[in-house]
Structure 1
Protein backbone atom coordinates (compact mmCIF):
# COMPACT_ATOMS: atom_id res chain seq x y z
CA UNK A 1 0.00 0.00 0.00
CA UNK A 2 2.81 2.39 0.92
CA UNK A 3 4.63 1.65 -2.37
CA UNK A 4 1.46 2.25 -4.38
CA UNK A 5 0.94 5.61 -2.64
CA UNK A 6 4.55 6.60 -3.39
CA UNK A 7 4.13 5.69 -7.07
CA UNK A 8 0.93 7.72 -7.28
CA UNK A 9 2.64 10.77 -5.79
CA UNK A 10 5.58 10.37 -8.19
CA UNK A 11 3.19 10.29 -11.17
CA UNK A 12 1.70 13.62 -10.11
CA UNK A 13 5.18 15.12 -9.71
CA UNK A 14 5.34 15.80 -13.45
CA UNK A 15 1.86 17.30 -13.41
CA UNK A 16 2.81 19.74 -10.66
CA UNK A 17 6.06 20.50 -12.45
CA UNK A 18 3.99 21.45 -15.51
CA UNK A 19 1.88 23.75 -13.35
CA UNK A 20 5.03 25.43 -11.99
CA UNK A 21 6.32 25.95 -15.54
CA UNK A 22 3.01 27.50 -16.54
CA UNK A 23 3.10 29.87 -13.57
CA UNK A 24 6.71 30.84 -14.31
CA UNK A 25 6.40 31.18 -18.10
CA UNK A 26 3.01 32.73 -18.56
CA UNK A 27 1.72 35.51 -16.31
CA UNK A 28 -1.68 35.14 -18.00
CA UNK A 29 -1.99 31.68 -16.47
CA UNK A 30 -1.90 33.12 -12.95
CA UNK A 31 -4.50 35.69 -14.03
CA UNK A 32 -6.72 32.85 -15.25
CA UNK A 33 -6.39 31.07 -11.90
CA UNK A 34 -7.27 34.28 -10.02
CA UNK A 35 -10.28 34.75 -12.30
CA UNK A 36 -11.39 31.17 -11.65
CA UNK A 37 -11.35 31.83 -7.91
CA UNK A 38 -13.21 35.12 -8.45
CA UNK A 39 -15.89 33.33 -10.50
CA UNK A 40 -16.37 30.72 -7.77
CA UNK A 41 -16.72 33.45 -5.14
CA UNK A 42 -19.11 35.47 -7.32
CA UNK A 43 -21.20 32.37 -7.94
CA UNK A 44 -21.43 31.74 -4.20
CA UNK A 45 -22.24 35.37 -3.40
CA UNK A 46 -24.97 35.52 -6.05
CA UNK A 47 -26.31 32.10 -5.07
CA UNK A 48 -26.58 30.97 -8.67
CA UNK A 49 -28.06 27.57 -9.42
CA UNK A 50 -26.04 24.47 -10.19
CA UNK A 51 -26.54 24.68 -13.97
CA UNK A 52 -25.26 28.26 -14.09
CA UNK A 53 -22.40 27.32 -11.77
CA UNK A 54 -21.45 24.46 -14.08
CA UNK A 55 -21.66 26.69 -17.16
CA UNK A 56 -19.43 29.37 -15.66
CA UNK A 57 -16.88 26.89 -14.39
CA UNK A 58 -16.84 25.07 -17.73
CA UNK A 59 -16.14 28.36 -19.48
CA UNK A 60 -13.36 29.29 -17.04
CA UNK A 61 -11.69 25.90 -17.28
CA UNK A 62 -11.97 25.89 -21.06
CA UNK A 63 -9.93 29.11 -21.13
CA UNK A 64 -7.36 27.66 -18.72
CA UNK A 65 -7.08 24.39 -20.65
CA UNK A 66 -6.68 26.11 -24.01
CA UNK A 67 -4.03 28.41 -22.52
CA UNK A 68 -2.13 25.34 -21.29
CA UNK A 69 -2.40 23.68 -24.70
CA UNK A 70 -1.29 26.90 -26.40
CA UNK A 71 1.80 27.00 -24.20
CA UNK A 72 2.54 23.32 -24.91
CA UNK A 73 2.33 23.99 -28.65
CA UNK A 74 4.65 26.98 -28.27
CA UNK A 75 7.19 24.80 -26.41
CA UNK A 76 7.09 22.13 -29.12
CA UNK A 77 7.42 24.66 -31.95
CA UNK A 78 10.34 26.33 -30.16
CA UNK A 79 11.94 22.90 -29.70
CA UNK A 80 11.70 22.10 -33.39
CA UNK A 81 13.10 25.37 -34.77
CA UNK A 82 14.93 28.46 -33.56
CA UNK A 83 14.52 30.14 -36.93
CA UNK A 84 11.48 31.89 -38.30
CA UNK A 85 9.32 29.49 -40.23
CA UNK A 86 5.90 30.21 -41.69
CA UNK A 87 4.43 26.93 -40.40
CA UNK A 88 5.82 27.57 -36.91
CA UNK A 89 4.17 30.97 -36.89
CA UNK A 90 0.90 29.48 -38.11
CA UNK A 91 0.94 26.79 -35.41
CA UNK A 92 1.45 29.38 -32.68
CA UNK A 93 -1.14 31.75 -34.15
CA UNK A 94 -3.77 29.04 -34.51
CA UNK A 95 -3.19 27.87 -30.92
CA UNK A 96 -3.53 31.46 -29.71
CA UNK A 97 -6.75 31.76 -31.69
CA UNK A 98 -8.06 28.74 -29.77
CA UNK A 99 -7.50 30.65 -26.54
CA UNK A 100 -9.32 33.66 -27.98
CA UNK A 101 -12.30 31.51 -28.95
CA UNK A 102 -12.43 30.05 -25.44
CA UNK A 103 -12.30 33.57 -23.96
CA UNK A 104 -15.15 34.73 -26.23
CA UNK A 105 -17.18 31.72 -25.11
CA UNK A 106 -16.44 32.58 -21.47
CA UNK A 107 -17.60 36.17 -22.02
CA UNK A 108 -20.82 34.93 -23.64
CA UNK A 109 -21.52 32.61 -20.70
CA UNK A 110 -20.72 35.41 -18.25
CA UNK A 111 -23.16 37.72 -20.03
CA UNK A 112 -25.91 35.09 -20.02
CA UNK A 113 -25.42 34.20 -16.36
CA UNK A 114 -24.49 37.52 -14.73
CA UNK A 115 -26.38 40.21 -16.69
CA UNK A 116 -29.75 39.31 -15.14
CA UNK A 117 -28.22 39.96 -11.69
CA UNK A 118 -27.11 43.42 -12.79
CA UNK A 119 -30.53 44.57 -13.99
Structure 2
Protein backbone atom coordinates (compact mmCIF):
# COMPACT_ATOMS: atom_id res chain seq x y z
CA UNK A 1 0.00 0.00 0.00
CA UNK A 2 1.63 3.22 -1.18
CA UNK A 3 1.04 6.47 0.67
CA UNK A 4 -0.33 9.43 -1.28
CA UNK A 5 1.28 11.93 1.11
CA UNK A 6 3.84 14.35 -0.33
CA UNK A 7 6.46 16.72 1.12
CA UNK A 8 6.35 17.43 4.84
CA UNK A 9 3.19 15.38 5.23
CA UNK A 10 5.04 12.31 3.91
CA UNK A 11 7.91 13.01 6.31
CA UNK A 12 5.44 13.25 9.21
CA UNK A 13 3.81 9.92 8.37
CA UNK A 14 7.17 8.21 7.78
CA UNK A 15 8.40 9.41 11.17
CA UNK A 16 5.19 8.19 12.80
CA UNK A 17 5.60 4.73 11.25
CA UNK A 18 9.26 4.59 12.28
CA UNK A 19 8.39 5.50 15.86
CA UNK A 20 5.63 2.87 15.85
CA UNK A 21 8.20 0.29 14.72
CA UNK A 22 10.62 1.24 17.51
CA UNK A 23 7.87 1.02 20.12
CA UNK A 24 6.64 -2.35 18.79
CA UNK A 25 10.18 -3.72 18.78
CA UNK A 26 10.83 -2.43 22.29
CA UNK A 27 7.65 -4.06 23.59
CA UNK A 28 8.17 -7.45 21.97
CA UNK A 29 11.92 -8.02 21.53
CA UNK A 30 14.09 -8.52 24.64
CA UNK A 31 17.34 -8.17 22.65
CA UNK A 32 16.21 -4.85 21.24
CA UNK A 33 15.26 -3.63 24.73
CA UNK A 34 18.69 -4.60 26.03
CA UNK A 35 20.44 -2.81 23.18
CA UNK A 36 18.37 0.36 23.58
CA UNK A 37 19.06 0.40 27.32
CA UNK A 38 22.77 -0.18 26.64
CA UNK A 39 22.72 2.69 24.14
CA UNK A 40 21.13 5.00 26.71
CA UNK A 41 23.90 4.09 29.15
CA UNK A 42 26.66 4.35 26.54
CA UNK A 43 25.62 7.77 25.16
CA UNK A 44 26.75 9.73 28.24
CA UNK A 45 29.94 7.65 28.36
CA UNK A 46 30.70 8.61 24.75
CA UNK A 47 30.22 12.28 25.63
CA UNK A 48 32.39 11.95 28.75
CA UNK A 49 35.35 10.16 27.14
CA UNK A 50 38.43 12.19 26.28
CA UNK A 51 38.61 11.20 22.61
CA UNK A 52 38.70 13.11 19.33
CA UNK A 53 35.44 14.05 17.58
CA UNK A 54 36.16 11.43 14.90
CA UNK A 55 36.66 8.71 17.54
CA UNK A 56 33.50 9.85 19.31
CA UNK A 57 31.61 9.53 16.02
CA UNK A 58 33.01 6.02 15.43
CA UNK A 59 31.96 4.92 18.92
CA UNK A 60 28.46 6.34 18.42
CA UNK A 61 28.00 4.97 14.91
CA UNK A 62 29.31 1.50 15.77
CA UNK A 63 26.88 1.38 18.70
CA UNK A 64 23.97 2.61 16.58
CA UNK A 65 24.84 0.06 13.89
CA UNK A 66 24.13 -2.74 16.37
CA UNK A 67 20.67 -1.30 16.98
CA UNK A 68 20.02 -0.88 13.25
CA UNK A 69 21.05 -4.46 12.45
CA UNK A 70 18.94 -5.77 15.37
CA UNK A 71 15.90 -3.96 13.95
CA UNK A 72 16.54 -5.53 10.54
CA UNK A 73 16.99 -8.95 12.17
CA UNK A 74 13.67 -8.51 13.94
CA UNK A 75 12.03 -7.53 10.63
CA UNK A 76 13.38 -10.67 8.91
CA UNK A 77 12.24 -12.91 11.77
CA UNK A 78 8.79 -11.29 11.80
CA UNK A 79 8.37 -11.72 8.05
CA UNK A 80 9.50 -15.35 8.17
CA UNK A 81 7.15 -16.07 11.09
CA UNK A 82 4.30 -14.42 9.17
CA UNK A 83 4.79 -16.97 6.39
CA UNK A 84 4.47 -19.86 8.82
CA UNK A 85 5.85 -21.44 11.95
CA UNK A 86 6.54 -24.81 10.33
CA UNK A 87 10.23 -25.50 9.98
CA UNK A 88 11.65 -24.86 6.54
CA UNK A 89 15.33 -24.91 5.67
CA UNK A 90 15.19 -21.52 3.92
CA UNK A 91 13.32 -19.92 6.81
CA UNK A 92 15.95 -21.16 9.20
CA UNK A 93 18.70 -19.93 6.90
CA UNK A 94 17.14 -16.43 6.67
CA UNK A 95 16.90 -16.21 10.46
CA UNK A 96 20.43 -17.53 10.95
CA UNK A 97 21.87 -15.07 8.43
CA UNK A 98 20.16 -12.08 10.03
CA UNK A 99 21.30 -13.26 13.45
CA UNK A 100 24.87 -13.56 12.12
CA UNK A 101 24.62 -9.94 10.92
CA UNK A 102 23.82 -8.87 14.49
CA UNK A 103 26.81 -10.83 15.78
CA UNK A 104 29.12 -9.17 13.24
CA UNK A 105 27.77 -5.71 14.17
CA UNK A 106 28.37 -6.48 17.86
CA UNK A 107 31.92 -7.65 17.15
CA UNK A 108 32.58 -4.54 15.07
CA UNK A 109 31.30 -2.27 17.83
CA UNK A 110 33.38 -4.11 20.44
CA UNK A 111 36.47 -3.86 18.22
CA UNK A 112 35.90 -0.13 17.70
CA UNK A 113 35.61 0.46 21.43
CA UNK A 114 38.69 -1.65 22.21
CA UNK A 115 40.85 0.00 19.57
CA UNK A 116 39.85 3.55 20.54
CA UNK A 117 40.04 3.04 24.29
CA UNK A 118 43.29 1.09 24.17
Of 74, 84, 101, the residue aligned with 1:98 is: 101
Distance in 1 between residues matched to 2:91 and 2:8, nearest whole Å: 41
Distance in 1 between residues matched to 2:97 and 2:10, nearest whole Å: 37
What are the ranges of 5 or more consecutive residues in structure 2 without an aligned counterpart?
1-6
2:56 corresponding residue in structure 1: 53
Asked whether the 8 Å contact 1:39–1:56 carries over to 2, the reply is no
Deviates more, 1:5-14 or 1:57-66: 5-14
The alignment's TM-score, normalised by the length of structure 2, stands at 0.85
Shift in Å, 1:6 = 5.7
2:77 corresponding residue in structure 1: 74
Q: RMSD in angstroms over aligned alpha carbons? A: 1.6
Pick the structure with more helix per residue: 1
Shift in Å, 1:107 = 0.6
What are the ranges of 5 or more consecutive residues in structure 1 without an aligned counterpart?
none
2:117 corresponding residue in structure 1: 114
**Residue by residue, what CA displacement relative to the aligned partner does 1:62-107 show, whole Å, maximum 9, x if unpaired?**
1001100000000110111221111101100110000000000011
SS at match of 2:76: helix
Deviates more, 1:49-58 or 1:92-101: 49-58
Distance in 2 between residues matched to 1:24 and 1:62, nearest whole Å: 20
**How many residue pairs get matched?**
112
The alignment's TM-score, normalised by the length of structure 1, stands at 0.84
Q: Point out the structure with max Rg over C-alpha.
A: 1
SS at match of 1:69: helix
Distance in 2 between residues matched to 1:113 and 1:37, nearest whole Å: 20
